Amino acid sequence: MSELDERRIGWGLGLAGGVLFGLSGLLSMALGTFNLALGHVEAGIGGFAAAVAALAVAGLAVLFSYVGNGRWKGYPLTPGLGLLVIGTVGGLWLGFGSVLALVAGLLVFLAGLLYLIPATVVGVKALTA
């Protein structure tokens, strides 16, 4: 069994947060469709707008998690900061409408923090040396 480190756990949390953002978007789309079927046009359009935003945030969360785990293993600062911003903005912006989006924002934020741990350790060692 391989050893779990901060990067792998961060990748898993970022992926789980992205999936939850995607589920939140699909749920918003289903509720928007239901509202349109009932004749509530404004609520239906609002549901579709929330769905597009949640799916975009889900794609960005999965992208930054993938980049931090794969291509930029040696440069965890950029994916870590990206995940922190995505988790904060997505969780606060979309979290008021859906508990799934709030939990997803928390998971993505934690993934960003986990990506930043190795960079912080290297920076502290460089400052104290």
Q: DSSP letters along 9-70, please?
A: HHHHHHHHHHHHHHHHHHHHHHHHHHHHHHT-HHHHHHHHHHHHHHHHHHHHHHHHHHHHHT
Give the whole-angstrom CA distance, residue 71 versus residue 106: 24
Report whether pLDDT(60) > 50: yes
Q: Tell me: pLDDT of 13 over 70.
A: yes
Tokens of 60: 């960005």
The pLDDT-based confidence of 75 (bands split at 50, 70, 90) is confident
pLDDT at 74: 72
Q: Is the pLDDT of residue 1 over 60?
A: no
How far is 20 from 35, CA to CA, in rounded Å? Answer: 22
